[in-house]
Amino acid sequence: MKHLFIILVLCIVTFQLHAQTNRVDSIIANLEDANGKNVLVAAHRGDWRNYPENSIAAINSAIAMGADIIEIDIQQTKDGQLVLMHDETISRTTNGKGMVKDYTLDSLKKLFLKNGLDRVTPHKIPTLEEAMLAAKGKAMVNLDKCYAYMNEAYDVLDKTGTVNHAIFKGYYHIAAAKAKEDCNLLPGKIFYMAMVKLDNDSAAVIIGNFQQQIKPVAFELSFKQDTVQILHTLDKIKQRGSRVWMNALWASLNGGHDDDKAVDENNIADSWQWLLDHGANIIQTDRPRELLDYLRKNKLHQ
């Protein structure tokens, strides 16, 4: 009887691990299918409305909701460790003060994260390694503010077996040739996403250069005005092999078609649906649960 119990436990564990692997494999397959109808959802800093931003709890909660991608922000400590922190300082999000780069990891680990109400919580500042292990097999991760630490981040991904879980991205001013050179310095293949401001008169040229030289898995597109002509031609990006990522976070990133309009004003037609109608097949959001519900209702998310 004891042996049967052990076998049953092993079978359950094996099934769970297999299911997790299939989850990430499915997300990667969708990511690489540029014209895919399945819309991927990226949770901005995790589920920060319920847990401190960039915390392991926020990552776990967003994964439990069904988010495909968790966006996290990376800073480097005095002793060269990569940690999750949006700001260069720790003053806004922890009970400490000062610059991340002036603290060792051990000293940062003595601090506590604050929640959205500015209350100190029991949650600690995670390392990139801890974050990748939390997401491993369950979701992909978008590494923001990480371009300066690409080599160090790659080493963490390699160590944790999560190189294929991560989406690297540069800054708006990084040219295609520079991104190609920097990516080629890494030991293995990575997913790279280019960031482009569509209000820039040269946006079409910039996109063309990236698709010729580096073939990004996606383009993160932002625009203050929703009248720019290029918004009517974004299907060309997908036809050439890259997904279209739009941010629903706040109005200045999407011409006013943001999360608040969808949730607080109950106007999805002029927010998430508008982004979808204009070509988005990855949406980054501060409202992952509500967006996922909407997409599933319309059979746009598995």
Helix axes 288-297, 56-65, angle to 10 degrees: 10
Question: In sequence order, which ranges of the chain are alpha helices (DSSP H)?
Answer: 2-32, 56-65, 105-108, 128-135, 150-160, 176-184, 203-213, 235-239, 259-263, 272-277, 288-297
By 3-state DSSP, what share of the chain in percent is helix, strand and coil, each rounded to 5?
A: 40, 20, 40
Give domain status of residue 215, yes or no.
yes
Is 130 within a domain?
no
Residue 241 lies in a domain: yes
User: pLDDT 10s digit of each residue in the chain, 302 long?
Assistant: 555 555 554 544 455 545 555 899 999 999 999 999 999 999 999 999 999 999 999 999 999 999 999 999 999 999 999 999 999 999 999 999 999 999 999 999 999 999 999 999 999 999 999 999 999 999 999 999 999 999 999 999 999 999 999 999 999 999 999 999 999 999 999 999 999 999 999 999 999 999 999 999 999 999 999 999 999 999 999 999 999 999 999 999 999 999 999 999 999 999 999 999 999 999 999 999 999 999 999 999 98
pLDDT of residue 302: 83
Question: Do the domain assignments include residue 131?
Answer: no
Tell me whether residue 268 is in a domain: yes
The answer to whether position 6 is within a domain reads yes
The owner of tokens 């978008």 is 142
Question: Which residues on adjacent β-strands are paired with residue 245?
Answer: 220, 282
- pTM to 2 decimals? 0.93
Would 92 be classed as within a structural domain?
no
106 within domain boundaries: no
CATH of the domain at 183: 3.20.20.190
Domain residue limits at 226:
2-72+138-297
Question: Based on the structure, what is the number of domains in the chain?
Answer: 1
